[in-house]
Protein backbone atom coordinates (compact mmCIF):
# COMPACT_ATOMS: atom_id res chain seq x y z
CA UNK A 1 0.00 0.00 0.00
CA UNK A 2 1.20 3.50 -0.73
CA UNK A 3 1.29 5.79 2.30
CA UNK A 4 -0.48 9.11 1.72
CA UNK A 5 -0.30 11.70 4.50
CA UNK A 6 -1.77 14.68 2.64
CA UNK A 7 -4.05 15.11 -0.35
CA UNK A 8 -3.84 18.35 -2.31
CA UNK A 9 -6.37 19.52 -4.90
CA UNK A 10 -5.16 21.72 -7.75
CA UNK A 11 -7.96 24.01 -8.77
CA UNK A 12 -6.71 24.80 -12.28
CA UNK A 13 -7.49 22.17 -14.95
CA UNK A 14 -4.81 19.86 -16.38
CA UNK A 15 -4.67 18.51 -19.93
CA UNK A 16 -5.43 14.79 -19.50
CA UNK A 17 -2.85 13.92 -22.19
CA UNK A 18 -0.18 14.92 -19.65
CA UNK A 19 2.17 12.16 -18.64
CA UNK A 20 4.08 11.78 -15.37
CA UNK A 21 6.76 14.36 -16.23
CA UNK A 22 4.23 17.04 -17.24
CA UNK A 23 2.06 16.32 -14.19
CA UNK A 24 5.13 16.50 -11.94
CA UNK A 25 6.14 19.83 -13.52
CA UNK A 26 2.61 21.15 -12.80
CA UNK A 27 2.86 19.97 -9.17
CA UNK A 28 6.15 21.82 -8.75
CA UNK A 29 4.68 24.94 -10.39
CA UNK A 30 1.47 24.99 -8.32
CA UNK A 31 2.65 23.57 -4.99
CA UNK A 32 6.33 24.55 -5.01
CA UNK A 33 7.56 20.95 -4.73
CA UNK A 34 6.38 17.35 -4.74
CA UNK A 35 6.62 16.22 -1.12
CA UNK A 36 6.95 12.54 -0.17
CA UNK A 37 3.75 10.77 0.85
CA UNK A 38 1.52 13.41 -0.72
CA UNK A 39 -1.09 13.04 -3.45
CA UNK A 40 -1.88 15.83 -5.90
CA UNK A 41 -5.24 15.80 -7.73
CA UNK A 42 -6.00 17.45 -11.06
CA UNK A 43 -9.16 17.49 -13.17
CA UNK A 44 -9.75 18.32 -16.81
CA UNK A 45 -11.77 21.36 -17.87
CA UNK A 46 -14.99 19.37 -18.36
CA UNK A 47 -14.64 17.86 -14.87
CA UNK A 48 -15.24 14.24 -15.90
CA UNK A 49 -11.61 13.07 -15.67
CA UNK A 50 -9.11 13.19 -12.84
CA UNK A 51 -5.38 12.51 -12.59
CA UNK A 52 -3.60 11.88 -9.31
CA UNK A 53 0.16 12.18 -8.92
CA UNK A 54 1.51 10.46 -5.80
CA UNK A 55 5.07 10.82 -4.53
CA UNK A 56 5.84 7.68 -2.50
CA UNK A 57 9.26 8.80 -1.28
CA UNK A 58 11.16 6.99 -4.05
CA UNK A 59 9.37 8.03 -7.22
CA UNK A 60 6.01 9.11 -8.55
CA UNK A 61 2.81 7.27 -9.46
CA UNK A 62 0.31 8.71 -11.93
CA UNK A 63 -3.25 7.43 -11.72
CA UNK A 64 -6.30 8.36 -13.77
CA UNK A 65 -10.04 8.12 -13.16
CA UNK A 66 -12.91 8.86 -15.52
CA UNK A 67 -16.61 9.19 -14.81
CA UNK A 68 -18.80 7.77 -17.58
CA UNK A 69 -21.70 9.90 -16.38
CA UNK A 70 -21.70 13.16 -14.47
CA UNK A 71 -18.76 15.23 -13.28
CA UNK A 72 -16.44 15.46 -10.34
CA UNK A 73 -17.64 18.22 -7.99
CA UNK A 74 -14.65 20.46 -8.65
CA UNK A 75 -16.23 23.69 -9.95
CA UNK A 76 -17.07 25.35 -6.62
CA UNK A 77 -13.46 24.95 -5.51
CA UNK A 78 -11.91 26.82 -8.44
CA UNK A 79 -11.16 29.92 -6.37
CA UNK A 80 -7.42 30.06 -5.78
CA UNK A 81 -4.78 27.61 -6.90
CA UNK A 82 -4.87 24.73 -4.37
CA UNK A 83 -6.73 23.15 -1.46
CA UNK A 84 -5.97 20.40 1.05
CA UNK A 85 -8.52 17.57 1.40
CA UNK A 86 -9.34 15.25 4.28
CA UNK A 87 -9.59 11.49 3.60
CA UNK A 88 -13.40 11.75 3.86
CA UNK A 89 -13.49 14.58 1.32
CA UNK A 90 -11.27 12.59 -1.05
CA UNK A 91 -13.55 9.56 -0.81
CA UNK A 92 -16.56 11.73 -1.63
CA UNK A 93 -14.76 13.50 -4.50
CA UNK A 94 -13.72 10.34 -6.34
CA UNK A 95 -17.32 9.11 -6.16
CA UNK A 96 -18.64 12.36 -7.65
CA UNK A 97 -20.31 13.49 -4.40
CA UNK A 98 -20.34 17.07 -3.01
CA UNK A 99 -17.13 16.76 -0.97
CA UNK A 100 -17.09 20.47 -0.01
CA UNK A 101 -19.97 19.80 2.40
CA UNK A 102 -18.27 16.94 4.26
CA UNK A 103 -17.15 18.02 7.74
CA UNK A 104 -15.20 16.28 10.51
CA UNK A 105 -15.91 12.56 10.87
CA UNK A 106 -17.69 12.44 7.50
CA UNK A 107 -20.70 14.47 8.73
CA UNK A 108 -22.58 16.37 6.02
CA UNK A 109 -23.49 19.71 7.58
CA UNK A 110 -25.02 21.72 4.70
CA UNK A 111 -27.58 20.65 2.11
Q: What is the mean pLDDT of residues 14-33?
A: 92
Task: Measure the CA–CA gap between 30 and 16, rounded to whole angstroms.
Answer: 17
pLDDT tens for 24-65 read 999 999 889 999 999 999 999 888 899 999 999 999 999 999
pLDDT band at 109 (very low <50, low <70, confident <90, very high): low
3-state secondary structure the chain: CCCCCEEEEECCCCCCCCCHHHHHHHHHHHHCCCCCCEEEEEECCCCCEEEEEEECCCCEEEEEEECCCCCCCCHHHCCCCEEEECHHHHHHHHCCCCHHHECHHHCECCC
Is the pLDDT at 80 greater than 70? The verdict is no
Where is pLDDT greater, at 106 or 2?
Answer: 2
Amino acid sequence: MIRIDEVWLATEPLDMRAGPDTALARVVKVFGSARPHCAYLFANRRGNRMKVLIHDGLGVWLCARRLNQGKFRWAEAWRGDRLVLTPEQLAALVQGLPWQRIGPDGVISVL
